[in-house]
Amino acid sequence: MSSAPSRHEFTTTDGVRLSYTDEGSGRPLVMIHGWTFSGRFFDGVAPGLARTHRVVRLDLRGHGSSDSPDHGYRMSRLSKDLADLLEHLDLTDAVVLGWSLGCPIIWGYLEMFGTGRVSRAIYVDQTPRQYMDLDWPWCHSQCWDDAALAALKATTNADPAGQDEQQLGAIMRREPTAQERELFLAEMSRCRPEVRGAVMEAHTRLDWRDVIPHLDTPSLVCIAKENIVFDWRGPAWVAEHLPNATRVDFEHSHHGLFLDEPEKFLQAVTAFTAKG
């Protein structure tokens, strides 16, 4: 694990202070973490990416080192936070990378704000729909309908630390090092139960299958074939329906595939961003 890079902050259009790190030089690569996590989860790969990119890691509102307000946990607001960051840094020709929850934040951003600042997108292991339906069997393993979502929220409220341990075990196929475990659990503990419930509810009830086929930004889709959070065929649907997508499968990874197969991840990302 690398040491933490220096932190910066900016204020969103609705008055929330968000924290981010900024390292390296070259083409901008903006990295967006998943639910309850933070930009620190990318510590293992960010230094390698920063050799050829300006790597910006955002902590979402309510996560990591950012403010945790009592409002703004709709997906549209999270996409607007990304827009505010890109405008604050005046980034153009940026590559945006989303892991898990980070993917629909980017889908929403592209749907609402277009490609004026973004030239490429990288989607790391996210299904377009988390609920089960008659035409959608590849649902989230814990949030497949309203009742399951309510149960997850109740469990999280009662024992957030226990939920963190369970989630860490689900996203990594390998055993985390002692340093990783300490860091990741500490970062997850900063996400309040109220935030967890609000974000998961906003995230998991959406269906992006009507949006994705219209996003023609050149895209890389990374798929964890041993994922236990949801079936790998959900992220595979994303790769199949994006008009301009490159697909890379990670055969020996759970949901946090850049944690399980970091060298392959670095190769896939750098090869993709070098194309344009």
**DSSP-assigned letter for residue 169:** H
Q: Could you give the 3-state DSSP secondary structure of residue 48?
A: helix
* pLDDT of amino acid 4: 66
Per-residue pLDDT of the chain (276 residues), as tens digits, is 555 678 999 999 999 999 999 999 999 999 999 999 999 999 999 999 999 999 999 999 999 999 999 999 999 999 999 999 999 999 999 999 999 999 999 999 999 999 999 999 999 999 999 999 999 999 999 899 999 999 999 999 999 999 999 999 999 999 999 999 999 999 999 999 999 999 999 999 999 999 999 999 999 999 999 999 999 999 999 999 999 999 999 999 999 999 999 999 999 999 999 986
- From the DSSP assignment, how many helices (H) and strands (E) are in the chain? 10, 8
Residues 6+ apart with CB under 8 A from 140: 127, 130, 131, 204, 229, 230
Pick the closest to residue 214 from 111, 122, 101 (CA basis).
111
* pLDDT of amino acid 2: 56
Beta bridge partners of 249: 223
pLDDT digit string, tens, across residues 193-235: 999 999 999 999 999 999 999 999 999 999 999 999 999 999 9
Q: In whole angstroms, what is the distance from residue 120 CA to residue 97 CA?
A: 9
**DSSP-assigned letter for residue 7:** E
